[in-house]
Amino acid sequence: MNAWLSILRDRAVVRASAAAIFLYGFAGAATSPYQSVIGIRELGLSDAAYAAVALVGAVFQVLIAVGTGYLSDRAQSYRTPLIVMASFGFVGYGMVWLYPSQATFAIALIGPLALFHATNSLLFGNVRAQTSDFAPDEAAIANALMRMMISLSWVLVPGIVGLYLARRESMIDAYGIAALVGLACVLTILLGVKSDTEPKAGPAQAPGPRPAMLPDLISVLSWGMTLRIAGIALITQVLTVNATVLPLIVTGRANGAASDIGFLVGLVAVLEVIFMIAWASAVRRIHLTTALAISALLYLVYLAAIAMASAPWHVYAASVVAGIAAAGIISLPISYLLDLIANRPGLSASLIAVNMFLGAALGSGIFALGTAVGGYGTASVLGGIAGVAGAALLLALERRTG
């Protein structure tokens, strides 16, 4: 613990980036649990239209994340891109709060907020660019601190915002809260991320890793690797499906309130932090794909349970299983993807961004299909089945190459 505190005390770049990414996570945690309810129930988007907006937003997010990462790495400078991208959080959340309508909601998701979400990868890149002179254990702690800050924001914020919204007629104030936090994120970067994130002078300074452009990524993709990426995306799409159907089920069939959404998300986040450590220990004894398969099966159980929920306590009970499973689904795919191209760190990072996009796209498509066929419960179960199918694909591929 002393090493963790000393890095925060002595490394200004880590301290400022950790504070900024906490605020970034705060803005997302204040709005994401209520996004589908606001878009569909309050603003009147159809299920298909909401899924389409989410899909287009996911496309823009991955393109912007890869593009800004490429430009920042090429220039070996993160401060200016961070200030610009973080500013769009204030703009995007603020426009939805000030002018709530279907049009502003859609424009914000596929425009300013897609730009804002590039802040996440840029902050990680900002820290990574400064860990070249860290000891290996210091670099590991710095990255862990960044992940922990996001998790902590999701533990604390959804429940607090949910309690506030429970006393309001509309949930749109969540976007007003996020706009203020987005502004605080910009100010934190502006005041805290100083010139120590700029290129270091002197001949001894080695050039930083050059990012992977799309042609480079395509050039190393074999058929087997493509299938593995598809399998991981099928597993991770369950998180998108759950983020969409959970608030709709809780405030619909389960007869819950907005505060229940926040408490459920916070409960799962607490369990995720605990069980991420447990999954990291488990993969020392079992194969990574086996752990992913167990996580996917548990998440199917959870999604099937909330599909049949008729009271809030049903969802709370199922969320215990969700926390255990989600911890594996969030943490394990990162290690799996990084190992696919172990000698090309830039390409490995691109795979993570591509997986985020594919998972969101598949989840949006499954939500649209499920609601067209049978409603939110059907979409929930279909998402769980697709996740298990992805795990089965990975197991089959590993058995073939084993």
Which of 174, 197, 220 marks a domain boundary?
Answer: 197
Report the alpha-carbon distance of residue 232 to residue 239 in Å, rounded.
12
pTM (two decimals): 0.73
Domain total in the chain:
2
Report the alpha-carbon distance of residue 82 to residue 193 in Å, rounded.
9
The answer on 96 and 57 residing in a single domain is yes
pLDDT in tens, 198-216: 444 444 444 444 544 555 5
Closest CA to 43 of 116, 81, 120, 96: 96
Q: Which sign does the torsion angle of CA 236, 363, 162, 149 carry?
A: positive
Q: Does residue 51 belong to any structural domain of this protein?
A: yes
Instruction: Share the mean pLDDT of the chain.
Output: 81
Q: Does residue 207 belong to any structural domain of this protein?
A: no
Residue range 100-123: mean pLDDT, rounded: 90
pLDDT at 179: 95
Report the alpha-carbon distance of residue 97 to residue 253 in Å, rounded.
27
Q: Does residue 125 belong to any structural domain of this protein?
A: yes
pLDDT in tens, 144-179: 677 677 777 877 787 788 778 877 888 899 999 999
The answer on 130 and 74 residing in a single domain is yes
Q: 17-21, 272-276, 305-309: which has the highest mean pLDDT?
A: 305-309
pLDDT at 330: 82
Bigger pLDDT: 354 vs 219: 354
Q: Does residue 206 belong to any structural domain of this protein?
A: no
CATH number for the domain that contains residue 58 = 1.20.1250.20
The answer on 155 and 233 residing in a single domain is no
Domain range for 375: 212-402
The answer on 130 and 14 residing in a single domain is yes
pLDDT at 306: 94
> Coil, strand, or helix at residue 44?
coil
Residue type, 115: L
pLDDT at 103: 94
The answer on 55 and 111 residing in a single domain is yes
> Coil, strand, or helix at residue 313?
helix
For residue 313, pLDDT over 90 is answered with yes
Number of other CB atoms surrounding residue 377 within 10 Å? 21
The answer on 230 and 175 residing in a single domain is no
pLDDT in tens, 25-34: 999 989 988 8
The answer on 216 and 132 residing in a single domain is no
The answer on 29 and 123 residing in a single domain is yes
